[in-house]
Each structure stands twice: as structure tokens, then as C-alpha cells.
A and B are shown apart, each in its own frame.
Chain A
């Protein structure tokens, strides 16, 4: 017998097929639950719509990251090739002593096409980084463990089973009502998953 305290994570219910899961997800969505998730062995098209998921905020992060990269690229290239940043007090000396004339090309603001490749590369780089790290932050990754791993049947989510997990921290969650709902929409082997506190 375990001596540690347990805390209820939520209900885990199994569904027979992707289409059963899809229909069940629509009902959980319509019941007004917010903190819940589906676990499938493979991507199911349209499941995000059935779950009523909102569009991710990630594109805005990427847009800001890309813009920052664009400006950084322009700053780095123009600071080393032109004198247009010389008005910034701390930079005046460094910048005025730096400009290089390459291949007799002029070095002023009209040289901007020469900076485009650098601006482009940094836009891509910064967008890529914001995508990766923004995604990890939004998913709260990396993490070492997940409460659902306490379930003995959950490993089948990567094999042949379709699950819906409703979390206890959802305001609409209650032990009887949620279990009843999962039963009504066709959930099998419903399990109350507990995590160690």
C-alpha cells in the first residue's frame, strides 16, 4: 500500500475508433469543458475543429520574431556598411570608424538591396527560433513526467487506442457528472487517473 498522498488528475476514457472519438469530442466540447485533450496514435483530420480549439497565438510570436530578425539584419548590415546609425550617442565613434567600401559600391541608405540577403536570413532564423521556443513554451515542454503516464492503459495511445482525458482542474469537472458524460458518449474502460502529490 502506497503511503504517498494522491491527487485526482482526471478521467481517461477509451474510444473504439477515430470516428467515435471525433463524435465524442464534439459532445465534450458542447458540454462546455475546457481543460481536456484527445490522444490518438495518428493525426485525425478535423479533430481540432471537433474539439473547438481556438487558433494558436503562436503565429503572432513568430511574426514579432521575424520582424525583430528583419530589423536586426538591417541594423547589423547597415551599421557596418553605412554611417546612418552614427547619431546614436554611444555608437558614433564605432560606426564612423567602421564603414567599408566594397567593389567601389556606394555605402549609404540606397545600398539597401545589398542588405536584403542578410535581412532575409535573419528573418528566417529568428522566425525559426520563435517557432521552436514559442511552441515549447506554449506546450510547457520539456517536462519529465505526465500524470497520465500513471494509467496502465495509456501506453496504447501510441498503438491502437483513442483516448479522451478530462482534467479535474476543469471548472465543470465533477466525479459523477463527468463519468456519466463519458459513459453516455460511448467511452469504455473509464479510469480515474490519480497522480502522486
Chain B
């Protein structure tokens, strides 16, 4: 309202770049912290005894997926922005692109999941497959086989009375699992890399046209499918796969809702911090924060909607294989955490984010965005960690001598939360490093985009 009308005279010809010694220092500290803690984590994952390595594998998965969703969400907002041909967000589009550009680098933290010595604690179905495969082929080679169509694997699983694994074999087999794993990072990584390149090329194009813009718009259409596949199947492979006998048709949507919500929270916080540091002064206005706040609000409701739908479908159907998920999470202290999630992730932000003045103020909106991220961490903690005590107890009970310590464990593993914090900080500081690296590589906003003035003067 009070904002002055932005004209092309306000937009620097060469754009504005995020260059400051403070950013460099933060980037360097984050990089070294991540390197150091990742080395410790690598030791805990691969060098330590099973009673430390096994719980820490779950810590690593929890932290990995939290930041995986944030980076994947950056890809989502870039794709959505391009494909919907929207003008309002042009001035914050570079933040979305740079957040998405962290995604390919998440592979650095994700590769331990490829290693069988880590997988054996997380994915019990792989152990069954390996055992069955080992009976057919000698050694490790057998474990990779068993994708759809191999009768010998099916027979081996049938002989072990693993009816669910037989029926799920077309999806849950190691060959397909590995193929999908690489597809996520290569597929969506190429998508975001290319889209960012189109956008950045426009900044320095000696003959500025809308060519890059139209190319980005066109290629965003079908690549949105790659994003949908990545977030849905990664959620099923890595999180839902922790418990192969569990079904949920809402799972992919549920994880996606949290992804879109919290990457928007990161975008809001980044835009606020950059404005406070003196960047984006002319192009980002309270109107932008209002729109982003509305998206934050919308996805808060969407998250609750999917979360509740999943709960109620399972609750009403009352099938043993399905209810197990909520039984674990409604036992002991996890019940308190689940109820806290309902209020903390939905009721409180719903009432607060209803207010328009709060969404227009970058500071109050950033506080809410930060709060949402904390709730997202709680959400993912409740998704991943309760499975740890159940699985490790189960394996120990089934006779795994290496896990004898876990026979005393009830709903949670005592002391294992230190590992959760360590993994979270290790991957989190790596995330900050790659995010700042991407942000400092490009101009802070696409200053040659033909819609930048429309975006700067947006009113809603």
C-alpha cells in the first residue's frame, strides 16, 4: 500500500548478487561442521558395534528425509511456478530454484542407504529377500535378484510363508528399489539443474528474449510427473518400507503435503533474512509475504486433511496390517507426541495464520514459518523413530545375537536421541552449506525476466 511503484529504473541492469563476508563465513562454518559430523556419523554407521550402528541408522534416515523433503519442495515450487505461468512469484523464484538445487546434493547424505550393512537394520524385507535369494544363488548376487517375474524368488518367499512379500514383489524387490533410488536423484536432479540453468541464462543473455522463460515453462509440464514420482515413491521406499506389512494409500500425499508446506517455510525465512541483509529491497513487498503466507496456511490445512484422512481410513477399516502404524504411535509417550502434533501442526498454526496482518509482516510470518519447521521435524520424528524400537526388539527377539541389548527396550531406545541430534545437525549444516552455495552462485532475483515489474508491483 505504502510501497512505491517500482519501475525498471529501480532494477539494476546487472542484477544484484548475494555477496557478503557474513554469508561466506556462515557457509564455511556450516560446511566444516557438516564434514566433521558426517565423518563421525560414517564411523557410527559403518565402524561402530551393532548396538550403536543400528539405532543410528534410524537417526540418519530421519534427518535425511527431513532435509530431503525441504530440497524436493524447492523443486516443487519451481516447477509449479513455471507450469502455472504465474507472475507474482518472479521476484522470489530464484530462491525456489536455489532451494531446489540443494536436492541433487542430498545424494551425498543419502548414499549410506544403499549399503546393505545399513539396510539390514532399516528394511527387514530386504533381509528376507537376501535370505531367500541366498538360497537360490550363492553369495550376495542372489540378493539383487527377485524382481518381478523371477519364479525362483517367489517360490523361496512362498516357502517361508511370506505371503505379503510375494504379493508386493513386483514393487518391493531390491533391483527395483535400487533403480528407483538412482532415478530420484538423477531424474529430479536433472530437472532442477536444467530449470535453474534456463533461469540463470536469462540473466546474462546478451540478447534478452523470452526464449528461456518459455522453455522453462514447457519443460516444467511433464517433469512435474518426475517430481510426483520422486516424492511419492521415496516416501514409500524409505519410510513406509521400514514396515513392509503396512499399507496406506494416503502416504505419498501426506508426505507431499509436509514437503510443500515446509519448503515454503524455508523460502519465507530466506526471503526475510535476505531483505534484512539489504537484498531484494525493491522487488519483494508485503504482498509477496501475504501470498506466501496464504500458501503456508493452505498447505497447513492440506497437511491436516491428508493426515486425518489417512488416520480415519485406517481407523474405520480396522485391518491389523494397517492399524499397526497408529498402534505403535499411540503407545506410551508416542501418544503424547502424536496429540501434540495434532495441536501443534494444525490447530495452533490454523488459528494464527488466519490473520492477514500477520502474513503481510515478514517478521511475524517468519516466526510462524520457523515454528512450522519445528513441527515438521516432530512430524518426521514420529514417522521414523517409533519404528526403531519395534524393529530392533523384533530382530533381537527373533534371535539376532548382535542386538541382544534391545530385548530390554520398550517403546523407545534409551539414549538414542543423541544420535538423532547428531545426524540432524550433520545433514542440516550440509543443507545450509549447499543452499548458501547455490544462493551465492546466482543473482538474487531474475532481473531480466519480463514479468519482474509485474511481480514487484503485485497486489492481492
A residues lining the B interface (CB < 8 Å): 45-46, 49, 55, 59, 63, 103, 113-114, 116-117
Contact = CB atoms under 8 A, between A and B. Distances in A.
B286 to A, nearest CB: 12
Majority secondary structure, A binding face: helix
Contacts of A103: 316, 318
Nearest to A62: B354
B417 interface: no
Given A49-B1, A103-B318, A113 B459 contact: no
A59 B459 CA distance: 20
Interface of B: 1, 308, 311-312, 315-316, 318, 354, 356, 459
Contacts of B315: 113-114
9 cross-chain pairs, A with B, having the tightest CB-CB distances, nearest first:
A49-B1, A45-B459, A46-B459, A113-B312, A116-B308, A113-B315, A113-B311, A116-B312, A103-B318
5 contacts: A45-B459, A46-B459, A103-B316, A113-B312, A114-B316
Given A103-B316, A113-B311, A63 B354 contact: yes
Contact of A117 (B1, B312, B354, B459): B312
Contacts of A46: 1, 459
Nearest to A104: B318
A59 B356 CA distance: 10
Majority secondary structure, B binding face: helix
Contacts of A55: 356
B102 to A, nearest CB: 36
Contacts of B308: 113, 116
Contacts of A49: 1
A113 B346 CA distance: 14
A45 B354 CA distance: 22
Nearest to A63: B354
B450 to A, nearest CB: 20
Interface core residue of A49, A63, A113 (most chain B CB under 10 Å)? A113
Nearest to B315: A113
A103 B316 CA distance: 9
Given A46-B1, A103-B318, A114-B312, 16 more contacts: A45-B459, A46-B459, A49-B1, A55-B356, A59-B354, A63-B354, A103-B316, A113-B308, A113-B311, A113-B312, A113-B315, A114-B315, A114-B316, A116-B308, A116-B312, A117-B312
Nearest to A55: B356
Nearest to A48: B1
A45 B457 CA distance: 11
Contacts of A116: 308, 312
A70 to B, nearest CB: 11
A103 B318 CA distance: 9
B17 to A, nearest CB: 32
B314 to A, nearest CB: 11
B54 to A, nearest CB: 34
Contacts of A113: 308, 311-312, 315
A55 B357 CA distance: 11
Contacts of B316: 103, 114
Contacts of A45: 459
A48 to B, nearest CB: 10
B406 to A, nearest CB: 31
A65 to B, nearest CB: 14
Contacts of B1: 46, 49
B197 to A, nearest CB: 34
Nearest to B460: A45
A123 B82 CA distance: 35
A52 to B, nearest CB: 10
B291 to A, nearest CB: 14
A50 B312 CA distance: 48
Contacts of A114: 312, 315-316
B357 to A, nearest CB: 9
B422 to A, nearest CB: 36
Nearest to B317: A103
A142 B165 CA distance: 65
A114 B459 CA distance: 41
Nearest to B1: A49
B354 to A, nearest CB: 7
Nearest to B318: A103
